[in-house]
Amino acid sequence: MQTEVMFAGFGGQGILLSGKILAEAAMDKDLEVAWVPSYGPEMRGGTAYCTVVISDKPIGSPIIRNPMHLVAMNRPSLEKFAAAVKPGGVVLVNSSLIAVTSERDDVDELRVPVTEIAKGLGNPRAANIVALGAFVARSRILDFEVIQAAVRKEFEKKKHFIEMNLAALEEGRKAATP
């Protein structure tokens, strides 16, 4: 089993962190993982994306042209990457910032107002964690408890962020499941 996830959005939206948390969660389950970050020279406000490859066998190449899944946090990212997603994959769309759809009927498009949900939690910067929670819940790429543990581990040196980020994960899960 190998699956690939592309996280994409503006720099400053926590795109690379979301991918890193997913990658570390998969490593904690003894899976093979490749995490490849990429961002434009502008950093904050520029384009940022990363690919996470998860497999139960050695990964032949971390470079992926057609990921199984996409988490699009802004419209340019959706427009640039949605067509490359493999049929049957999950395309999570931040509907707070993206009014259009992927125009794909062969993927599971999940529209979640992640920015608005994060604002409702009191921290708009947690939108990436809301999106991560929604994506993991919908794709079932890992057990939800594994991603919760990875969030705890990521913020263990900043304990005051743990509960808020766990709440953001949970709100994402609620938004992704009927």
Q: What pLDDT is recorded for position 43?
A: 54
All residue ranges of the chain with pLDDT < 70 are 40-46
What is the identity of the amino acid at 146?
V
Q: What pLDDT is recorded for position 50?
A: 95
Q: What pLDDT is recorded for position 44?
A: 57
| CATH code that applies to domain 2-176 | 3.40.920.10
Q: What pLDDT is recorded for position 157?
A: 92
Q: Which residue pairs from 111-116 have beta carbons closer than 8 angstroms and sit at least 24 positions apart in sequence?
A: 112/172, 112/175, 112/176, 113/175, 114/73, 114/172, 114/175
Radius of gyration of the chain (CA): 15
Cβ proximity of 94 and 113 under 8 Å: yes
Q: What pLDDT is recorded for position 34?
A: 97
Non-local (6+) Cβ contacts of 105 within 8 A are: none
Write out the two tokens for 5. Answer: 């996830």
Q: What pLDDT is recorded for position 146?
A: 97
Q: What pLDDT is recorded for position 45?
A: 60
Sequence ranges of the domains in the chain:
2-176
pLDDT in tens, 42-90: 555 667 899 999 999 999 988 899 999 999 999 999 999 999 999 999 9
Quote the CA–CA distance of 74 and 99 in Å, as a whole number.
Answer: 10
pTM of this structure: 0.94
